[in-house]
Amino acid sequence: MQWIPASQRKPKVPQRSLWLGLLLLLSSPAMADPQCEKTLRWNDDPPLSMELPDGRVGGIYVELNEAALERLGCKTRLRKLPWARALKELELGRLDILPGAFRRPEREAYAHFSGTVLPPSRNILFARTDTIERWPITRLPELANLPFRLGAQIDVQYGPDYQVLMSDPQYADGVFMANNRSSLWNMIDKGRIDGAIADEHTGAWEIQQLGLGDAITATDVVVSDDAAEVAFSKRSNDLNFVRAYATALQELVSDGSYQRIVRRYLQH
C-alpha cells in the first residue's frame, strides 16, 4: 500500500455522512429517472391499435408512437384503456401519452398537445344499407329532422357537425351512448339503431371483421376531417418533451416511415 504523507492525507469522512450524501444524490431529479419510460394508451381499435395474431400489440398508432419514443430514447409501456377512462387517467397523470385526441378547452386544462403533425383522418357516418337508401342526407345535422337512431361513443368528440346535432336536446336524448363501437355495430345489425360515426378506416375494418359488410355501409356523410393530435399529461410531461416528440413525429412523416406503417395495416 502506498504511503501518503500526513500533510497530503484527506480528512476522514464519517460513514454516516457518506450514506447521507449518497441518499441525496439518488433523490436528485437527475438520478430519480435514469431511464425514460412512458405509458401509451391502446385499445381494441383496429387498425389504429389492436392485438395481433401472434399476441403482440400493434396498429398504426402503436407502431408510430413507439417509433417516436424510441427516437427520444424512451421505452414504451402499453396500457389498455377505453377512451373515457384514458382521458381520466391522462388527467390524473397515470397515463402519459394518448394518441388520436382532438384538442378541446376542457382537455387543455390537464393535457399538452402535439399540434397537427399527422395527415387528417375523416370521421364518417356508417348506417344500415336500407336506412340510408330511405333517408339520403349530405350532412349530419339533417338527422335532427328524421327518425334516425344514432349511436355514439361516450366522451368522444366527432367535430362541429356532431356538436350542432347534439345541441338539439330532443334529438340528443335519443342518441344511444356506448363505451365501444363493437356494441354499436351489433346494435345496427339487430336494427336497434340506424347508424354510428367512426373513423373511415377503423369503421370499414371492424365491419368487415364482424362479417357485417352487407348490413352496414359507409355513407357519403363526412362528419369531420380534422387532424387528430397526440395528448400528453401535464402531470408527467413538460413542454420541452412535447416539442421534441412533435419533431420526432414530423421526422417519421417526412422520411416515409408513417406512410409505410399505414400501408402495412391497410393492405390487409
Residues 55-66: tens digit of each pLDDT = 999 999 999 999
* pTM confidence score: 0.64
Domains of the chain plus CATH, in order, are: 35-119+227-266 (3.40.190.10), 123-224 (3.40.190.10)
Round the average pLDDT of the chain to a whole number and report it: 87
Per-residue model confidence as pLDDT tens digits over 69-126 = 999 999 999 999 999 999 999 999 999 999 999 899 999 999 999 999 988 878 999 9
CA 236 to chain centre: 16
Q: Measuring CA to CA, which residue among 184, 129, 195 is closest to residue 162?
A: 195
Q: Measuring CA to CA, which residue among 110, 71, 70, 97 is closest to residue 242?
A: 97
CA 104 to chain centre: 14
Q: Measuring CA to CA, which residue among 213, 211, 210, 150 is closest to residue 182?
A: 210
Per-residue model confidence as pLDDT tens digits over 200-233 = 888 988 898 899 999 999 999 999 888 889 999 9
